[in-house]
Amino acid sequence: MKIIKNTLTLCAVLAFVFSLSASADAQKRRTTKKRAANNAARANVNATPAANAAKTAEIKDGARKVSDQLKNVTKFTYLLGGIAGGIEQIDKESKTKKLSQSALSLNDENKKKVIRSIRDLRAGLAALEAEFTTKNSLRLYNFQIQGVTDMSGRAEDLALSGQFTESGKMLLAVVEKLSDTLVSLP
């Protein structure tokens, strides 16, 4: 008798919990990428041929700029792979061994150059992200590129803390995001 009562209580509690989750799902506003794409398609149908040509040109220009930034970050990440290991190795050796002052100053100069280069990359990525935010024809693709400036900022922070290899890994995530953006553009 006690088992049946506990089972009924458990069933009642589960039914209550499931009804709460069902009502919560019913109250959510559902927006999908498909609806946004349909709205964009309707806007393109109603636009004049000249407006469509201008939008197409802006999207093509945006794709070219994404491609340029993708090349810049990829080349830098490739070069950083070789440099980062050397910088971090010299930092380790400087703690355990006596190194010449010229080797240490050269290492410090290399660190500054890497950090300056990451800042330059970040500035280019910020300009690109801002363009996708402000231009109407590129706003549909903004969700793909959103966050690359923050990611490059984290890469800079990692480099400033002496973690150049980890900084390169963060830049690889930027490369992935830029690649995904490029694929999403028509």
Domain ranges for the chain: 55-184
CA distance 139 to 130: 10
Q: Burial level of 35, CB count in 10 A (0-12/13-18/19+)?
A: exposed
* DSSP assignment letter at 146: T
Mean pLDDT for 104-124 is: 93
Which CATH number is correct for 55-184, 2.60.40, 1.20.120, 1.10.10, 3.30.420?
A: 1.20.120
CA distance 158 to 170: 9
Question: Considering only CA atoms, which of 181, 69, 183 is closest in space to residue 133?
Answer: 181
Confidence (pTM): 0.69
Distance set, CA 36 to CA 54, 161, 185 (Å): 20, 42, 15
Query: With 90 as the cut, is the pLDDT of residue 35 above it?
Result: no
How many alpha carbons lie under 13 Å from residue 6 in its C-beta half-sphere?
A: 3
- Per residue in 140-176, pLDDT (tens digit) is 998 999 999 999 999 999 999 999 999 999 999 999 9
